[in-house]
Amino acid sequence: MASPISARAESPVAFVDSSAIVTLVDADDASHTAAVEAYQSLVDDGYRLFTTNHVLDEAFALLTVGVGTAVARQWLRDNRLPIYFVDETDLAAATKLIAARDGNSPITLTDALSMVVMERLSVADAFAVDPAFLAELS
């Protein structure tokens, strides 16, 4: 399967984390307005955005709990982000990344997969509001 970022290599690319998706969808979130402005800025600057199938799953679960099943289903139906499907190589690398951590540096499997995919695809930019995920990227 072709990478969602393979075409138009001259355009910048950004990975979209579930935290950004949830914040964009939940108008009551304290960071909603800032997230909408950041999203618009990325679009205006020509960024091609993508996410992974694991982030799609995580965002749907978080939205179901946070804003309800109906809104989560509508978001899933209306979602137009290109989706990168992780493979066995990504999973093995993410598992290795998690196993190398000590107990004081927890990371979720979804975040580890996201980091592995970003590295493999040479994507340095991410749209996220989760401080833990952002800290892992720096």
Q: Which domains does the chain have, with CATH numbers?
A: 13-129 (3.40.50.1010)
What number is the average pLDDT over the span 76-80? 96
DSSP string over the chain: ---TTSS-TTS-EEEE-HHHHHHHH-TTSTTHHHHHHHHHHHHHTTPEEEEEHHHHHHHHHHHHHHT-HHHHHHHHHH----EEPP-HHHHHHHHHHHHTS-TTS---HHHHHHHHHHHHTT--EEE---HHHHHHH-
The model's pTM is 0.90
pLDDT of residue 1: 41
What is the residue-averaged pLDDT of the chain?
Answer: 92
pLDDT of residue 8: 52
What number is the average pLDDT over the span 31-57? 97
